Chain A
Amino acid sequence: MNSFVLAECTTVEGALSQLKDGAAVKAGGIDLLERMKNGTYQPSKLVNIRNISALRGIQKTQDGLTIGALTTLSEISEHPEIQTQYQILSDACGHAATPHLRNVATLGGNLLQPVQCWYYRSAEFECIRKGKNFCFAFGGLNQYHAIMDYGTCPAVAPSSSAVALLGLDARIELSSAKRGKRMVSIKDFYVEPDANPTKFTVIEPDELLTAVMIPKPAPGTRSAYQKYGEKESFDWAIADAGVVLEMDGNTCRRAVITMGAASPVVRRSQEAEALLAGKRITEETARAAGKAAMTNVQPLSMNAYKVDLFPVAIYRTILLAAGQASRDPSAAG
């Protein structure tokens, strides 16, 4: 790891004043230190926001929930209100990474971690995500890469919490010293590789992610998230599914189906959602929705298995959300 100046901050204003000349924000530091140890990122200054207590905590508001950017994944997954009212989020935060990483990893850092791709994460490969004009994954090892909507780079969306927050229609609060605060819907937060391959989210270098706001769920809402991995723990998803169902009895008024590891940016499947709206949730409708989510897939040379895995992840998560199945023991824990 390169050496750096560490600016210890205890207030948001103090931290914002430091965000210039290429300074990097450090929250939990897990993603940041990994890239620095790998040698793909060598900032000469780190702005340590870890001790800004104003950015930590979960607040119930009139409109729903506000979660401070520094709240850890463990705190979110263990929060009683989130466990009962926003289960998709407690599931996602409670199954990301490992127990010890979740004790340190923050929500803001989890949302802002750049894409997962072993070429991008290695200092040996100068790729399109690093401003060059070549992607090694298309002709190389691509078993964990995207199967849809990838354009010029099939590195996958890494954040479990984003899959949940897209399902919950969350908004992200960004703050800067010069321009004050702005709110960005999570659906507009991530940048497609074709729009700009080196910019992963809309956050600007002088901005801090300060909070995430989640609207109150509609009456009858049930939700769940499940992640499937090559190992039971300590790895990113190879397939994951977020499901939010607004129910009238056993009939689904409205469904939101989200996926992470299918594409470079977390996405919804309108096809799957349309199949559930107005229907009863049964094994059959759930399976059909899972299949429909695979419309427009274009698997790479080594990842056609994901086209079989995603429908299973989605259908089992629909049944889990509907209370018709328990957590899949083969899902990652």
Chain B
Amino acid sequence: MSDPTKPNDPLLREHGRKGITRRGFLKGAGLTAAGTALLEGVQAFNSEAATSTNSEVTELGPGPVPVRLHVNGKEHAVSIEPRTTLAEALRIHLGMTGTKIICDRGACSGCTVWLDKVPVNSCMMLAVDAIGHEVTTIEGLSTESEPHPLQAAFVKHDAMQCGFCTPGMVMSCAALLEKNPHPSEHDVRHAIAGNLCRCGTYPRVFSATLEAAGNMRRA
């Protein structure tokens, strides 16, 4: 596996020497901001990982590709195949097992993480699609010393039974509070409309979220 800190990207190898920077090259090629972020996240190509690098198309894989993922405020270098889902990258490659894989089909939202603060199902997203975006997982919600007010409210309201759906529930409800600090119960119901709780703890999830909204307002 190539060292992701070494500039062995073919673009850099070809053009770096001639004083053409990677960023400049991409700009010159007329790439959009999103496209530039994307290509810069895919770093350190080796010739096997990236076979065609014209201005418009970059081929990755099928083998492992070194990429950088921004997760919970930190940059992580990982080597993943294009078929790796974001959920698998988090759990297997980064050891962040707070995000659960339950149905693996988009039908339970147990794997909910935020992509730039927007809640998404990480089991139905390729990890490479998270390049250039900020991923937030349940591990990133609390600070080192304190749980997120919503996590505290979940504990206080005993808003879990087996707990398997809980990380997804918390991420969905916390995303709601980011967007709408004064939700009604209807808003909470709507925000977790895709979160399946086999144990049926929904009423506690509603009450915990409504109380956390109140606490966060006072704080």
A residues near B, CB below 8 A?
A: 1-11, 13-15, 17-18, 26, 29-30, 33-34, 37, 44, 46, 48, 50-51, 53-54, 97-101, 103-104, 232-234, 333
Contact between chains at A233 and B194 (CB < 8 Å):
yes
Among residues of B, the one whose C-beta sits closest to the C-beta of A18 is B57
Contact between chains at B57 and A104 (CB < 8 Å):
no
| In the bound complex, CA of A135 to CA of B106 (Å) | 27
21 inter-chain pairs at a CB distance below 8 angstroms, sorted by A residue, are: A3-B83, A5-B62, A7-B57, A7-B59, A8-B39, A8-B42, A8-B57, A9-B56, A10-B38, A29-B124, A34-B105, A44-B62, A48-B128, A51-B32, A51-B35, A99-B119, A100-B194, A104-B120, A104-B124, A234-B109, A234-B196
B172 within 8 Å of A (CB atoms): yes
In the complex, which residues of chain A have a beta carbon less than 8 angstroms from the beta carbon of B190?
99, 333
A interface: dominant SS: mixed
Q: Which of A13, A29, A30, A100 has the most CB of B within 10 A?
A: A100
In the complex, which residues of chain B have a beta carbon less than 8 angstroms from the beta carbon of A54?
32
Q: Given that A99-B193, A234-B196 are known contacts, is A6 also in contact with B104, CB under 8 Å in the complex?
A: no
Contact between chains at A5 and B106 (CB < 8 Å):
no
B129 within 8 Å of A (CB atoms): yes
B160 within 8 Å of A (CB atoms): no
In the complex, which residues of chain B have a beta carbon less than 8 angstroms from the beta carbon of A3?
61-63, 81-83
| In the bound complex, CA of A9 to CA of B52 (Å) | 11
Q: Which 8 A-B pairs have the closest CB atoms?
A: A98-B194, A14-B56, A10-B35, A6-B82, A233-B193, A3-B62, A8-B58, A14-B57
Q: Given that A29-B129, A100-B120, A234-B107 are known contacts, is A10 also in contact with B31, CB under 8 Å in the complex?
A: yes
Q: Which of A14, A33, A97 contacts B194 (CB 8 A)?
A: A97
Contact between chains at A29 and B126 (CB < 8 Å):
yes
Q: Given that A5-B82, A10-B31 are known contacts, is A104 also in contact with B58, CB under 8 Å in the complex?
A: no
Q: Given that A9-B57, A10-B35 are known contacts, is A2 also in contact with B83, CB under 8 Å in the complex?
A: yes
Taking A6-B82, A100-B119 as known contacts, 15 extra A-B pairs with beta carbons closer than 8 A to each other, sorted by chain A number, are A2-B83, A3-B61, A3-B81, A4-B82, A5-B82, A7-B52, A7-B58, A8-B42, A8-B59, A14-B57, A33-B126, A50-B129, A100-B106, A101-B106, A104-B121
In the complex, which residues of chain B have a beta carbon less than 8 angstroms from the beta carbon of A50?
129
A2 shortest CB reach to chain B, Å: 7
In the complex, which residues of chain A have a beta carbon less than 8 angstroms from the beta carbon of B120?
100, 103-104
B185 shortest CB reach to chain A, Å: 13
In the complex, which residues of chain A have a beta carbon less than 8 angstroms from the beta carbon of B85?
33
Among residues of B, the one whose C-beta sits closest to the C-beta of A17 is B57
Contact between chains at B61 and A51 (CB < 8 Å):
no
B77 within 8 Å of A (CB atoms): no
* Chain B positions 162-211 with a Cβ under 8 Å from a chain A Cβ: 172, 189-191, 193-194, 196
In the complex, which residues of chain A have a beta carbon less than 8 angstroms from the beta carbon of B55?
14
B197 shortest CB reach to chain A, Å: 12
| In the bound complex, CA of A16 to CA of B66 (Å) | 26
Among residues of A, the one whose C-beta sits closest to the C-beta of B35 is A10
Contact between chains at B124 and A33 (CB < 8 Å):
yes
A35 shortest CB reach to chain B, Å: 11
In the complex, which residues of chain A have a beta carbon less than 8 angstroms from the beta carbon of B31?
10
B96 within 8 Å of A (CB atoms): no
In the complex, which residues of chain A have a beta carbon less than 8 angstroms from the beta carbon of B112?
100
In the complex, which residues of chain A have a beta carbon less than 8 angstroms from the beta carbon of B118?
103
B141 within 8 Å of A (CB atoms): no
